[in-house]
Structure 1
Amino acid sequence: MALRFLVVEGNTRGAREAHRAAYGQMLSESYAHVIHDIERDAVCDIAFPTDEGANLPDRAGLESYDGIVLTGSHLNIYDRTPEVLRQIDLMRAVYASGTPSFGSCWGLQVAAVAADGDVQKNPLGREVGFARRLRRTEEGQGHPMLEGRPEVYDAPAIHLDMVTALPEDATVVATNPVSAVQAAEIRRDGGVFWGVQYHPEFSLSELAAILRQRTELMVREGFCRTPEEVIAYADELTVLATDPTRFDLAWRHGVDAEVLDSARRTREIRNFIEYRVKTEKSGRGRA
């Protein structure tokens, strides 16, 4: 029987449409595409909790899924707007459902706050392009979320906020000099969440599209001196996405197979499906 996933889009309608215009897909659609690449027969539904009146699944509906995935978002969770609060409430229901869950960036932040952790702006500033020198913590040694990852690795990333206070039952499995919590397992109300602050689901072409959308921000925050530099950087990432054998560009941007090889880049999502979704499905007697 095919695995059933719920992909929870973190963006508001305007941001979803902007991402689709820039990349051709919403964040949730591209995330579903990654899941389909890993598990060809998977069925992916998409939820939009930022939309007022959205038809969101109740606990029984959440229990009917084999896995739930939370995307990134342009929102800041400490703003506590209705669009944010609906997502926190949904994540609390996800925990209570016991359905295995996974999230990237915003997804990790929502899961942390829903379990009484905290998220604030990173005093070191934005981590953009790639999260560098990610490394396993002592607790992360042997953790199945990071199976197949080397001791130190890089991954696509773009975020300003970070988890600043961990929930009571949480384990940090990866960290780096920019954000102490780069990958974590959180347990709450019988549910288990795996999440990362970076974006294993991002191809280099999707990352490039996001950077082009943020050209003004990239210049304002000093990552590039001119808009032309931002576009040139994004264009090189796009070329590298279509031709990962371009050693010159890989060297210039300091990336290796952990980023260039799609199977290795998406390792955490693959491990989530293998070790949480399939295992839990079997345990529930649904295999």
Structure 2
Amino acid sequence: MALRFLVVEGNTRGARQAHKAAYGLMPSESYAAVLGEIESDIVCDLAFPADEGANLPDAAGLESYDGIVLTGSHLNIYDATPDILSQIDLMRSIYASRTPSFGSCWGLQVAAVAAGGDVRKNPLGREIGFARRITRTQAGQGHPLLAGRPASYDAPAIHLDMVTMTPADAVVLSTNAVSEVQSAEITVSGGTFWGVQYHPEFSLGELGVILARRIEMLVGEGFCRTPEEAASYIADLNALHAEPTRFDLAWRHGLDEEVLLPERRTRELRNFIEHRVKPEKSARGRT
């Protein structure tokens, strides 16, 4: 039973090509590859709503998908430029289509703003590398998005902006000391979105590539003292990506199996497929 997914790339053309030059894949291509690793029969189309004149699915096209996922982005949603507004409009159409949707980081922010929420810079600063000590809210205790996660867990993350006001029909599912909204469910126009502020789709290798392009920022914002220290940290992430059993490095950086093992790091994506996409496909009677 093949599953048809639409992966909505949040980046502009230049940003996604820069990522491809460094990593070999655009973020949307990487996201699609992770989905394919979770379920071998997932078929993905890609959409680029930040591009002027982008050919985007209409209402019937959106409804034809079994699931829609939104990637991260380098954009700041409060800038409200045309390439951002087009993504907000698309998210409103996704809600109206009632197709199960999921988003990471920027995806959560777009979904929140499209539903009437707000996103601003985090006054506590950037959360980068990993979001630490994420814990469920009371509403998140039994929510299927977080099924299998322990009481407290870490996850790959890189963001400065955060959801500062949740929409009316939103439920915050997890939080930590840096970002009040680490995951949420949002319902609008009969459509339901599940999203996380972190990046369950990132491998440590992809995270390392992203950080390697931000060494100046890591030093400038005080996360590392020198470029050499930043490079050493990135090298450790790459080594853990290649060899997750490196206990010495895992201990040094306080990382456990929730981050190191792909089947646990991608837990929210797996839960989205199992608890939202597959049941909805069956309910619609699709083959």
Q: What range is the shorter-chain TM-score in?
A: over 0.9
Q: Superposition pairs for residues 118-157 of structure 1, below 5 Å?
A: 118-157=118-157
- Cα separation, 1, equivalents of 2:237 and 2:61: 40
Partner of 1:168, secondary structure, is coil
CA apart distance, 1:173: 0.5
**What amino acid is the match of 2:271?**
N
* Stretch deviating more after TM superposition (203-212 or 221-230): 221-230
Task: Name the residue aligned to 1:235.
Answer: 235
Kindly provide the CA deviation profile for residues 169-198 of structure 1, in whole angstroms up to 9, marking residues without a partner as x.
000010000000000000001100000000
CA apart distance, 1:232: 1.1
Task: Name the residue aligned to 2:162.
Answer: 162
- Cα separation, 1, equivalents of 2:90 and 2:72: 15
Partner of 1:135, secondary structure, is strand
Structure 1 residue runs of 4+, over 6 Å off? none
Task: Name the residue aligned to 1:273.
Answer: 273
Question: Which structure 1 residue ranges, 5 or more long, are not aligned?
Answer: none
Partner of 1:231, secondary structure, is helix
Task: Name the residue aligned to 2:248.
Answer: 248
Task: Name the residue aligned to 1:201.
Answer: 201
- Cα separation, 1, equivalents of 2:20 and 2:253: 26
- Cα separation, 2, equivalents of 1:286 and 1:158: 37
RMSD, matched Cα: 0.6
**What amino acid is the match of 2:159?**
H
Task: Name the residue aligned to 2:182.
Answer: 182
- Cα separation, 1, equivalents of 2:83 and 2:225: 34
CA apart distance, 1:200: 0.4
CA apart distance, 1:90: 0.3
**What amino acid is the match of 1:98?**
R
Task: Name the residue aligned to 1:218.
Answer: 218
Partner of 1:274, secondary structure, is helix
Report whether the alignment pairs 1:257 with 2:257. Answer: yes
- Cα separation, 1, equivalents of 2:146 and 2:87: 26
Partner of 1:207, secondary structure, is helix
- Cα separation, 2, equivalents of 1:209 and 1:106: 19
Percent identity of equivalent pairs: 74
CA apart distance, 1:226: 1.4
CA apart distance, 1:114: 0.2
Kindly provide the CA deviation profile for residues 55-77 of structure 1, in whole angstroms up to 9, marking residues without a partner as x.
00011000000000000000000
Q: Superposition pairs for residues 4-19 of structure 1, below 5 Å?
A: 4-19=4-19
Task: Name the residue aligned to 2:192.
Answer: 192
Give the number of aligned pairs: 287
- Cα separation, 1, equivalents of 2:26 and 2:233: 22
CA apart distance, 1:41: 1.1
Task: Name the residue aligned to 1:71.
Answer: 71
Q: TM-score, normalised by structure 1?
A: 0.99
- Cα separation, 2, equivalents of 1:254 and 1:21: 30
Question: Which structure 2 residue ranges, 5 or more long, are not aligned?
Answer: none
**What amino acid is the match of 2:58?**
D
- Cα separation, 2, equivalents of 1:206 and 1:158: 12
Partner of 1:96, secondary structure, is helix
Partner of 1:21, secondary structure, is helix
